[in-house]
Amino acid sequence: MTEYLVEIRNLKKYFPIVRGTFRTVKGIVKAVDGVSFNISKGETLGLVGESGCGKTTTGNCILRIVEPDDGEVLFHEDDHVVDIRSLDRSQLRTSWRNMQMIFQDPYSSLNPRMTLKQIVGEPLVEHKISKGKELDEQVAHLLEIVGLRPEYMSRYPHAFSGGQRQRIGIARSLAVNPKFIVCDEPVSALDVSVQAQILNLLQDLQGQFGLTYLFVAHNLSVVKHISNRVAVMYVGKLVELAETEEIFANPRHPYTEALISAVPKPDPLAVKNRIVLTGEVANPSNPPSGCYFNPRCKYAQKVCTEEMPVLREVSPGHLAACHFTDQLSLAGLDTYLHG
Amino acid sequence: MNESSDLLIEVKNLKTYFYLPQGIVRSVDDASFNIYRGKTLGVVGESGCGKSVTAQSILRIVPSPGKIIGGEILYHKLVNQDGTNYQEEVTDLAKMDWQDKRIRAIRGAEIAMIFQEPMTSLSVIHTIGNQIEEGIALHQNLKPREARKRAIEMLARVGIAQPEKNVDEYPFRLSGGMRQRAMIAMALACHPQLLIADEPTTALDVTTEAQILDLMRKLQQDLGMSIMFITHDLGVVAEMADDVVVMYLGRVVESAAVVDLFHDPKHPYTQALLHSIPKLSDKSGGRLEPITGSVPDPYTQVPGCPFHPRCLKMIPDLCDVKVPGLIPVSPVHWVSCHLYSEGKSS
């Protein structure tokens, strides 16, 4: 039985829409609306969805960079379980030694006025792990781990390319020796040739330090490459979750089917009978009734507009939230690949 | 091989340099390629490879201090097109002044462009109707009422719901996908011969991207224009292009039909690029083969082949000294690499 490292129960984050002179609340954006999943030790869980589906907010809520409104985030430390939401500020800071984040944009996530030593060493100083000569040694070591030369320590971020900056960000998040890292679109701002370097580095580090990743991304090819399991979000809700190969071979939610079909495949001979969804992602402040996907779903029936389907296990380890998942035979990835 | 009457744009040895205080940036350096009538040319490359500046050069909108310092951009225009009889008129866009009357008549009317981020390329203080009508009024001498009718027609054509109502909307009121549709409507309002699309779907979500790509293909069938499709996404190129040009540091390193490029790539850079991307068809959890190093600083001029510092098949004393020319490996497949010079083949 695999051990869980992180358990998320019914996580919710609602953002009020505040307008006008009197700051009245005009509506609520349900960015994350009752999301539950577990992440096992040493695995990579991919979290995919389109912009505005709440995947980044989910990552932020787990680390409490954004305060969740409801739900539980259970983190298994060595011998006990901590509910991250119940911690006070100083306890939370201690917990951050175990959970870190890698950000999307390596240009805006590094302070241009700090040297590499200050950037990478800051968590070490902040958590009183090391100082003085020892700090220098540790920073040098961290830079080496991520493939940068320790001599660069006194340089500023502007001297580095996008890929190198992302390495700096990774070194910083590794500084406190965390167990769990939320990677928020870590390669989407990088050039294709550099993406592969960073993805390989993330895999190496996972093997080397036994890290567990929540990998938030919109690029399905990247997510498929790096994840053990994949969770799909649509308008604040989880619609499907399964092992990577399984979800791509046998999607059980029409949205997942459409996503797989929509990815441009780098092969001109690939079969091009793709499903083009009509309409746009539902407005999270005013979602449609019933299943949020129903206005775009070609299989939708009356019950879909009335009742919200619950996420349930449709086969061992495969969860989907669709009323008709058992009746539909949805097209998997094999449909689009040529012999 | 395509006949010469199928040629729309012929770019020959184009050089566009930026003279900056820090040094000279050779954004486009000796690039040559052809765009054929009714076909889609995909231009791929990583950031800084000069693909956008190439497009700007064709339209003569290279921002200062950039200058076209050499080469030709031959635009083959068909005149008196009354069914079977037509004459071809060839003009060199590179030789004109950027404010020349002739290029101003071409820009937006015969060659139009759509950009990556519709929000920053549309005016925020004008309605989309205004912005589409402006181009129509300028190029086609229509009365305001007719221009407006045309604008509504175009909006309907690109799939914007309730065009009569949305013609008076401001861009910020529309979603990203709708804005990109409005941009396409604007670009196609004068029925251009060539549509330059600079990363038109990069800022969009996959399902919206699929919609826009579908729309572009459909409009191409209906209107018969050529498309120059600039992107870094090899998946999008595979779906959209008939021919592909791969650029690296301002140079064209390979040029081929789309199937050849993906199934028989010749240049080490193209091969490495195709190997480095994660593909849905690969088993998950495998290893990628990244290209070592990164694109060099734009101010440094790499001697010899621009790719040699990162190339695994580099031949010492040749690749780092001599710039390879474009060599045909087949009549429609050209590659700029010393591995394919006379006597050597692989």
Query: Which tens digit of pLDDT belongs to each residue from A245-290?
Result: 999 999 999 999 999 999 999 998 887 777 888 888 888 888 999 9
CA distance B186 to B122: 10
Picking from A252, A192, A254, the residue whose alpha carbon sits closest to that of residue A222 is: A192
Q: Are B184 and B219 in contact (CB under 8 A)?
A: yes
A196 touches chain B (CB under 8 A): yes
Picking from B166, B165, B201, the residue whose alpha carbon sits closest to that of residue B182 is: B166
Average pLDDT, chain B: 90
Residues of B in contact with A227 (CB under 8 A): 284
Q: What is the pLDDT of residues B116-171, one digit of tens each?
A: 887 788 888 999 999 999 989 889 888 889 999 999 999 999 999 899 999 999 99
CB contact under 8 A, B235 and A161: no
Q: What are phi and psi of A19, to 5 degrees?
A: -135, 155
Mutation site, B273, B277, B281, interface A, largest A CB count within 10 A: B281
CA distance A228 to A225: 9
Q: How many CA atoms lie within 13 A of A103 on its CB side?
A: 13
Domains of chain A plus CATH, in order, are: 4-111+178-336 (3.40.50.300), 112-177 (no CATH)
pLDDT at residue A107 tops 80: yes
Q: Tell me which residue in B210, B277, B291 faces A276 most closely, judged by beta carbons.
A: B210
CB contact under 8 A, B287 and A200: yes
Picking from B239, B175, B234, B229, the residue whose alpha carbon sits closest to that of residue B204 is: B175
Within A210-323, residue ranges assigned H as helices are 220-226, 244-249, 254-262, 302-306
Mutation site, B47, B201, B276, interface A, largest A CB count within 10 A: B276
Largest CA distance in chain A: 69
pLDDT band at A338 (very low <50, low <70, confident <90, very high): low
What's the pLDDT score for residue B237?
95
Q: What is the pLDDT of residues A198-226, one digit of tens each?
A: 999 999 999 999 999 999 999 999 999 99
CA distance A331 to A334: 8
Q: What percent of chain A has pLDDT over 90?
A: 76
CB contact under 8 A, B206 and A259: yes
Q: What are phi and psi of B273, to 5 degrees?
A: -60, -45
CB contact under 8 A, A265 and B235: yes
The CA-based dihedral angle spanning residues B70, B74, B75, B80, taken in that order and rounded to the nearest 10 degrees: 140
What's the pLDDT score for residue B345?
45
Within B198-332, residue ranges assigned H as helices are 206-223, 234-240, 258-263, 268-276
| Dihedral sign of CA atoms B287, B292, B293, B295 in order | negative
What interhelical angle do B176-188 and B144-157 show, nearest 10? 130
- CA distance, residue B210 to nearest chain A CA (Å): 6
Picking from A209, A133, A132, the residue whose alpha carbon sits closest to that of residue A174 is: A209
pLDDT band at B177 (very low <50, low <70, confident <90, very high): confident
Complete DSSP assignment for A143-200: HHHTT--GGGGGS-GGGS-HHHHHHHHHHHHHTT--SEEEEESTTTTS-HHHHHHHHH
Q: Three-state SS for B187?
A: helix
pLDDT at residue B1 tops 50: no
pLDDT at residue B81 tops 50: yes
CB contact under 8 A, B207 and A227: no
Q: Which chain B residue shows the shortest CA-CA distance from A199?
A: B288
Q: Tell me which residue in A203, A269, A274 faces B210 most closely, judged by beta carbons.
A: A274
pLDDT at residue B344 tops 60: no
B206 touches chain A (CB under 8 A): yes
CB contact under 8 A, B277 and A262: no
CB contact under 8 A, B214 and A276: yes
pLDDT band at B299 (very low <50, low <70, confident <90, very high): confident
Interface A–B counts its CB contacts (< 8 A) at 149
* Whole-complex ipTM: 0.86
B162 touches chain A (CB under 8 A): no
- CA distance, residue A174 to nearest chain B CA (Å): 22
Residues of B in contact with A263 (CB under 8 A): 206, 235, 280
CB contact under 8 A, A225 and B232: no
Q: Three-state SS for B196?
A: strand
Q: Tell me which residue in A203, A269, A276 faces B211 most closely, judged by beta carbons.
A: A276
Residue with tokens 């932020």: A60
Which amino acid is it at B305? C
Residue A316 structure tokens? 């061992």
What's the pLDDT score for residue A285?
85
